[in-house]
Amino acid sequence: MLVIECPWCGPRSEEEFTNGGEAHIKRPSKPSALSDEEWADYVFMRKNTKGIFLERWSHSSGCRRWFNAARNTITNEIAAIYHINEKPPKEIS
């Protein structure tokens, strides 16, 4: 059970959050211009990273805000938390 530091509410238990999968997947601005493969890549394909993984979380039982986290999938350490529309901190990427 992780402790996740919500950027708005501070450290709270994982029970209050919902995981939203891989972060920084931008919805294509012109989906109709994409090939089937390119579209399928956006819709279905996700990384399965061993190590630092950039992912989205929502404080669904709290402030209901989305944010990004950099979590080590081996150790579950959370290296950074940053706003949903921010780039990951330099030391992470």
Partner 1 sequence: MSRPLRLSLGGAIDRKKPVNFQFNGRQLCGYKGDTLASALLANGIHLVSRSFKYHRPRGIFASGTEEPNALVQLEVGPRTLASHQATKIKLYEGLKAFSANCWPSPAFDLLGILGFFHRILPAGFYYKTFMWPRWGWKIYEYLIRHIAGLGYCPRQPDPDRYDHMNAHTDILIIGSGPSGLAAAIEASHSSARIIIVDENSKFGGRLLSDNSKINNKSGPDWAAQQESILASNPNVKMLRNTTAFGYYDHNLIGMIENLTGPITGVKDKKRQRLWKIRAKQVVLAQGAFERPLVFSDNDRPGVMLAGAIRTFLNKYAVIPGRRVALFVNNDDAYRTALDLNAHGVEVVVVIDLRKEATGVLPNRTISEGIEVVEDAAITGVIGKSHVKKIEVMMLSEDGKSVQGEKRFFDCDLIGISGGWNPAVHLHSHTNGKTVWRKDDGVFIPGKTLQNIISIGACSGNFSLQSCLKDGWTAGKKVVKLTGFSSKKTNSPKDTENIPEQPWRNIWIIPSNAPAGQNDKHFVDQQHDVTAADIQLAAREGYQSVEHTKRYTTLGMATDQGKTSNIPGHAILAEILGKEVSAIGTTTFRPPYTPVTIGALAGPYTGLLFAPIRRSPMHYWHESNGAIWEDVGEWKRPWYYPKRNESMRDAVARECLATRNSVGILDASTLGKIDIQGPDSAEFLNRIYTNNWENLEIGCCRYGIMLREDGMVMDDGVTSRLGKNHYLMTTTTGNAASVLAWLEEWSQTEWPTLKVYFTSVTEQYATITLSGPNARLLLEEFTNDIDLGGGAFPAMQYREGTVGGFRARVFRISFTGECAFEINVQASGGANLWANFVNAGEKYGITPYGTETMHVLRAEKGYIIVGQETDGTVTPYDLGMNWIISKNKDFIGRRSLNRPDTARDDRKQLVGLLPNDKTEILPEGGQIVSQLQATYPIPMIGHVTSSYHSPILGRSFALALIKGGKKRLGQTVHVPLVERTITCQVTSHLFYDKEGHRLNG
Angle of CA points 43, 2, 46, to nearest 5°: 15
If binding is defined by CB under 8 A, does position 45 make contact with partner 1? no
Contact 65, 58 (CB under 8 A): yes
Contact with partner 1 (CB under 8 A) among 39, 41, 49, 52: 39
| Residue 34, CA distances (Å) to 6, 21, 23, 41, 47 in order | 35, 23, 21, 10, 20
The reply on whether position 50 binds partner 1 by CB under 8 A is: no
18 lies in the binding site for partner 1 (CB under 8 A):
yes
The residues of the shown chain that bind partner 1, judged by CB under 8 A, are 1-3, 13, 18, 20, 26-27, 30-32, 34, 36, 39-40, 42-44, 56, 58, 60, 64-66, 74-77, 84-85
